[in-house]
Amino acid sequence: MKSQRLIDLHEGWLLAEAPGGADGLDAAALAALPDDAWLPATVPGTAHGALLTAGRIPDPFYGRNELDVRWVAERRWVWRLGFEVGELAEREELVFEGLDTYCTVWLNGELLLKSDNMFVPQRLDVRSRLKPGRNELLLCFEPALVEARKVEAMHGKRALWNGDSARLHARKAQYHFGWDWGPELITCGPWRPVRRDSGSARIADLHCRTEVAADRRTATLQVAAELQGAATRCAFELLDPQGRCVAARAVPAAQRVGATLSVTDAQLWWPLGLGAQPLYTLIARLQDDDGQVLAEDSRRIGLRHLRLVQAPVEGEAGSSFHFEVNGQDIFAGGANWIPDDNLLERITPARYRERVAQAAAANMNMLRVWGGGIYEHEAFYEACDEMGILVWQDFLFACGLYPANEAFQASVRAEAEAAVKRLRHHACMALWCGNNEDYMIAESQGLAGPGIPAERFEARAIYEKLLPEVCAALDPDTAYWPGSPFTPGSDVKSSDVTVGDRHSWEVWHQQMLPYQNYGEVQARFVSEFGMQSMPSLALFESVLPQAERYPESRTVQWHNKAGSASGPDGHRRLAVYLADNLRVGPTLADHVYATQFVQAEAMRVAYQDFRRRWQKPGARAVSGALVWQLNDCWPVTSWALIDSSATVKPAWHAVRRALAPLAVAVRLEAGQARLVVMNGGLEGRALTLQLCIYAMDGRELASARVAQHVPAVSCVEAAQPLPSFAEPAVAELCALGDDGRELARDCAWTEPFRFYGLAGARVDIAVDGRDLVVSSDRPVKGLWLAGNGLALADNFIDLVPGAARRISSQIALPMSLRAAALDHPAWQIALFDGGGSPQAE
């Protein structure tokens, strides 16, 4: 018998444009394309990526080159690989982890496969078709939009938001067709690995259900495996996080085998901020009579008990929507995740880890994988496992009225089964969700909502029957939720604030409420909300021709995809929020700072107003806040907290502070200040709250110190009376520990900022090792420090007179940095001489 070998078929591929015209091209015609028609290609990869590497197309992200590369999506592309095979094993299979999307595959001239779902892996028995010596694979990809329109012609156009309506019939990443934050780049190609699987046997599936008694720290694992090929026994072994075997069992081999493993003194997995993330390793080995290992597979798992709780909310209508881990309620603070690039092959495991680490560094404990993207690479979920980030995983339907015909449902079932089997073992997996905003669009079309028969919205067959069936069969321990947003029950709308989850877009979209009103659009779980801003100036300028580097240019607008049925409107909406709040200078740099300022302030208000309603056990009025969105796929003005160059925006720091394990918030109200303390830790805290009120010239107008106890995993509020004053002011609230050390801080200002000036402050910045020591003689709003490779622990800070603020750097400080603050011209600071002060360049 032969041990299993997994052989990557990734090197030596060639790409060519295939002739257009009638269907039915054969392998011989494609293989006979002239030598000069072929260019090198990588797998995993896309036609766009290969053409870009070869210099055949310009960078799609630069300027308006997106228009100049659309022809790529209109052509057929053929991939060719010649590969050598030695002695054949008893079992020979070719594995295509992902083919994007309409693909025909030939092996040695024989038709092997026709595929039309980007998300369904294909495994093919080729024992009778593979031959010792030279073999040739051919993959021909049809233009996805052309093929999708053929299907649409049979089944009819359907309503949608974003992209071409034909996308609803294509099981392909929906954002490829263009979205309100991304370009139209309709890729094709073998986007995931291609492999030869050779050997006598293999483990087709490995899974375990875990029952954890958190109070006793014990766990029972029900392990199951599906086996193929010849073997004598299957041995299971569980290694603890330190690599020690803590449980093992061997069973006779069969098509399906199982075993029970028990763990005492279990090391529990916790979300970020509540504990550690120890990961056990479950190993399965197939062996023959002599003990030779014929095949091996493994899973890294976390021992935890996680559930979605919908319970009464004390004194309020409806029910909560919160997650509980190991018996502990958690507030889910985080973000929505989109694919990190349009060319998916460019998202390396290191890039996934960097982006997830940025979420963790912002004190996020949940990411929602949005339904218009992809089931992400294993590296994403592994990073979330290791860093304690829970994952809300959408199935891949977004903003449309999808069909539910028999063929479409069959494809969706295969897709869903593959996704659930691949991802269900991850400790981070918290929820499966049927779609993004499909109930909303059904309501907008009169197909769902109060008084409307359920059958009018035909995709319910997918979201309320097919997908929950798959999840119940394959992952019964993880909650399933039909859509986002979704309100359970009949005669209801998805916008209900008292149950389920909600997308609160009254700020930015819909009524365009002031961001200061976020508290009015709270819900039990706010799974989308957001405010746009431009990317970093350096990134923006890198994709803008010199002549287009001004705020109103055509190319600047091109890199803002927000719009409505009447056309692009993101620039108009941004202009309203700027005009309502700030006085903005004329340059691109001015607008980058101003839009990022408004986004940061909006996120500060939103996260604080949502999180303060977490309240206490039995009164979880708001249990989650997931901003739209964490990341970008290209250089763009969008709702992202991190731009496509991995540069965090000021809003990232605002969110980080609002989601800190201990956070405070202050609001100036008539005759008083409202003080809020938010404690996410497992222990109660005895604090001193220090409140200081300053005039704009630096005079202290009022101060107070009050003792405040805040229970574990709770929020408390208090009102502090203030003397009357008729001038603009800033309030600084600090939470102090027993030793007087500052533990949390927040500032509130008289608004709108455009009504008064903050210019003229003297800002002193000194260097102390890797720390910056920052002070000012009067209030300063939104001090933003930027420099080459600068990585500060805090940024976009408010200053008041008094004690200097110390900001640590994660790396050595650069020679100089650039500073900006509200109403202060940007200035350059040379750090090597010890500091700098405001001075226009």
- Pick the closest to residue 615 from 312, 360, 272, 368 (CA basis): 312
Check if the beta carbon of residue 696 is closer than 8 Å to that of residue 680: no
Check if the beta carbon of residue 198 is closer than 8 Å to that of residue 206: no
C-alpha radius of gyration, the chain, whole number: 28
CA atoms within 13 A on the CB side of 75: 15
CA 352/CA 336 separation, integer angstroms: 14
Residues 6+ apart with CB under 8 A from 269: 275, 276, 277, 278, 279, 302, 303, 304, 385, 388, 427
Taking CA 17 as the corner, what is the angle to CA 372 and CA 187, rounded to the nearest 5 degrees?
Answer: 10
Question: Which letter does DSSP use for residue 814 in this model?
Answer: P
User: Dihedral angle at the C-alpha atoms of 56, 57, 58, 59, nearest 10 degrees?
Assistant: -110
* 324 tagged catalytic: no
Total residue count of the chain as it appears in this document = 841
The b/e string for 704-743 (b: 16+ C-beta within 10 A; e otherwise) is eeeebebeebbbbeeebebeeeeebbbbbbbbbeeeeeeb
Strand locations in 56-109 (E): 76-85, 91-96, 103-107
Task: Say if residue 752 is preceded by a cis peptide, omega within 30 of 0.
Answer: yes
CA 335/CA 358 separation, integer angstroms: 11
- Pick the closest to residue 658 from 331, 328, 329 (CA basis): 331
Q: For the beta carbon of residue 217, count every other beta carbon within 10 angstroms.
A: 15
Residues 6+ apart with CB under 8 A from 837: 762, 763, 764, 765, 827
Strand partners, 329: 324
Question: Which letter does DSSP use for residue 659 in this model?
Answer: T
CA 444/CA 468 separation, integer angstroms: 25
Extract the tokens encoding 190.
């073998």
Task: Say if residue 485 is preceded by a cis peptide, omega within 30 of 0.
Answer: yes
H runs (alpha helix) in 475-569: 537-543, 554-558
Which of the residues 152, 345, 437, 548 is marked catalytic?
437
- Pick the closest to residue 205 from 229, 224, 231, 233 (CA basis): 224
Residue carrying the six token digits 């015609």: 29
Sort strands 332-337 and 624-627 into parallel, antiparallel or unpaired: parallel
H runs (alpha helix) in 671-807: none
CA 734/CA 690 separation, integer angstroms: 5
Question: Which letter does DSSP use for residue 178 in this model?
Answer: E
Sort strands 332-337 and 771-776 into parallel, antiparallel or unpaired: unpaired
Residue 688 CB burial class (10 angstroms; 0-12, 13-18, ≥19) = middle
CA 437/CA 368 separation, integer angstroms: 14
Check if the beta carbon of residue 733 is closer than 8 Å to that of residue 727: no
- Catalytic residue numbers? 437
